[in-house]
Structure 1
Amino acid sequence: MFIKQAFNYQYQFWRYIIGVIIIFIAVILGQIPFGVALFLKEGIGVSKLTETEMMQVLDSNLSLFLMLLTFAVGLGGVFFVSKVLHNQPIKGLTTTRKKIDWRRFFFAFGLVAIFAIATTLLDYLANPENYLFNFQLVPFLILVVIAIVMVPLQTSFEEYLFRGYLMQGIGVFVKNKWLPLILTSVIFGSLHFFNPEVTKLGNIIMIYYIGTGFMLGVMTLMDEGMELALGFHAGNNLITALLVTADWTAFQTNSILKDISEPTAGWNVIIPVFIVYPIFLYIMGKKYGWSNWKQKLFGRVEKPRMLNHLSDS
């Protein structure tokens, strides 16, 4: 009933159109500090730099902070429009439960963190020539502080925008669950098209981004709340930022390791989406007793009868 509960608030579709515009403006405003810092450093020539080159102009910790600040401001925009335009509290945008279940958040966080650490360690042991030991104590400690504070804000912005605000807004408009799941997943993945990873690996990487969007959307609909998706996304990005960096990734960090191999995209894109992600969903489904998958993913979204009666009167 995660989508359906949007009917309890101001859910007219025009409010969502204005809300998206306000959120977009908030993101643009959040980019200003990074743009100013780059301009002060590079001058007019900054306009000719690629995204990867922009991340390398400033100190990596400063670049990371300023980049993530964009998403923090965007998150504030989502909360603002939810409260002001829709009279919807954060809990109503997050979950159907009586209160936000942080145990779910940390379970998903821990699950993906353990997986990321284990697979990185195994790959490092199997292919040490592909990695450079990048650890420097002081820059790393600064990175830890920035990442712990800012990365969850970045991932929460994406989750609250796509799995929360847009999932509910599209769902109450089209009156079903499958279309908002598809649209939010495709839009979420498509917005990563301009990431440097796509330039380096090719369009096949979009399977990973869109597939990740689908998995997070399925988590949200099956669990009737965003806690698992919030924790999973935060854990994945945070551990990645701390463990491994590369010259061709969106996150340029003072991480423990630096991947110096020549990247390729193939089975390493397909396997996570079609094998690893279903395993994650299976584990969560068993733990939280998910059932009635067809109804929860493809069912109708009906306005509650009481609200129909009130609107008719």
Structure 2
Amino acid sequence: MPRPIDSDRLAFHRLVFARRRHGWWTPLAVGGLGLVIYVVFLLLLALAGVAAALSNPDAARALEAVLADGGSLDVTSPLSLAVGLGSVALMLPAYLLASLVVNGRRLGFASAVYGRLRWRWMLVCGGLAVATAVVVTLVTALLPAEASAAPLPAPAGAALWISLLVVVLLVPVQATAEEYVFRGYLMQAIGRWLRHPLFAILLPVPLFVIGHLYDPVGQAAVGLFAVAAGWLAWRTGGLEAAIALHIVNNLLAFLLGLLELSDPAATDVGWVSFATSVLLMAVYCAAVELVLRRRPIVRTYALPRAPLPPTVSMPTPTATVPLPGEPTPDLTRP
């Protein structure tokens, strides 16, 4: 396969060139195969739900209540949380399996320039995200409360603890899945065809916004989040910083919902919530940039150079012993 002609050092959005197969058609094949695998996963999930409903009347009533909500996340229902978050989380294995089949080995380059997730860097980014979320939440708590619909009542008793367990287990996978699809797959797919990182950062934004059903203010916040996450992936050479921000942001939203302080399923986003989201992203990106300036990390992958062709060794002239009666050759003459 041809190598990229711009450079032998690959930024995150160009890492498809580090894979075994990286032809122009591979992003399309990964997307198509990933969609098929994802639909199969959803069908298996639906069949499991139908089997549970047929065997247990209580499960049937709970599943009917979830379907009646139109698939919206309801913090008062652990089953609703599990179905909603789990259906998004299934995008992660669907994409990784499709990428492995189409692009071949070195699947870790879907994550970062190291050819794997950098877990130490992930922990650093997670700490930055948690600290930023705490500070921003305390600061914005001083702002006037905005008029909005009352949050849903939190589940009580065992349902509260089950909902909390579902959130803690599935939200990290759900947020990671969205980052792998929208910042991993889409950025590297665009980077296969277009060299400049702005294309890879900005072109996936509308698709990410469409996937979140908010009012115009909320969609503006989602769009800014997509730009920030794309910049983080390019700037740091991997998905770790974007994943950490996404996980902390979503965990904060659902935990506040369980405390009856907000409604994660609300589609109307006020200006205070918009300002909180923008402030969180801005402070976090600034913190990541500060860490990068003080302790730089590897942000690009160096393609191995093609081996040089073997050199042909020329035989060295050797003196020959003349036969009797022949003149001695003069080796000093050209």
Question: What's the TM-score, normalizing by structure 2?
Answer: 0.69
Report the count of equivalent residues.
282
Distance 1:116 1:273, change over 3 A: closer
Q: Per-residue deviation at 1:271? A: 2.7
Map residues 153-232 of structure 1 onto 2, 5 A cutoff.
Answer: 153-192=173-212, 195=213, 198=214, 202-232=215-245
Secondary structure at 1:259 match in 2: coil
1:251 matched residue in structure 2: none
The structure 1 residue matched to 2:126, chosen from 109, 120, 128, is 109
Task: Return the letter of the residue paired with 2:219.
Answer: M
Q: Matches of 2:146 and 2:269 in 1, distance apart?
A: 20
Q: Matches of 2:209 and 2:24 in 1, distance apart?
A: 23
Task: Return the letter of the residue paired with 2:227.
Answer: F
More helix by share: 1
Matched, 1:97 2:108: no
Distance 1:163 1:259, change over 3 A: closer
Deviations 1:72-124 (A, max 9, x none): 32211111012111014342111113652223223333333344445556639
2:272 matched residue in structure 1: 268
Distance 1:191 1:99, change over 3 A: closer
Task: Return the letter of the residue paired with 1:214.
Answer: V
Map residues 63-82 of structure 1 onto 2, 5 A cutoff.
Answer: 63-82=80-99
Q: Matches of 1:256 and 1:118 in 2, distance apart?
A: 19
Distance 1:97 1:290, change over 3 A: farther
Stretch moving more, 35-44 or 181-190 = 35-44
Q: Per-residue deviation at 1:304? A: 5.7
Largest Rg, 1 or 2: 2
Q: Matches of 1:42 and 1:145 in 2, distance apart?
A: 18
Question: What's the TM-score, normalizing by structure 1?
Answer: 0.73
The structure 1 residue matched to 2:26, chosen from 15, 29, 32, is 15
1:240 matched residue in structure 2: 253
Map residues 126-145 of structure 1 onto 2, 5 A cutoff.
Answer: 134=154, 136-145=156-165
Consecutive unaligned residues in structure 2, runs of 5 or more: 1-10, 54-59, 310-334
Q: Matches of 1:173 and 1:206 in 2, distance apart?
A: 28
Consecutive unaligned residues in structure 1, runs of 5 or more: 245-254
Q: Matches of 2:130 and 2:208 in 1, distance apart?
A: 22
RMSD: 4.0
Stretch moving more, 228-237 or 281-290 = 281-290
Matched, 1:123 2:133: no
Distance 1:111 1:45, change over 3 A: closer
Deviations 1:128-164 (A, max 9, x none): 9966873735323222322222111111111111211
Secondary structure at 1:100 match in 2: coil
Distance 1:45 1:286, change over 3 A: closer
Q: Per-residue deviation at 1:19? A: 1.4
Q: Matches of 2:166 and 2:278 in 1, distance apart?
A: 33
Stretch moving more, 153-162 or 131-140 = 131-140
Matched, 1:288 2:292: yes
Secondary structure at 1:144 match in 2: helix
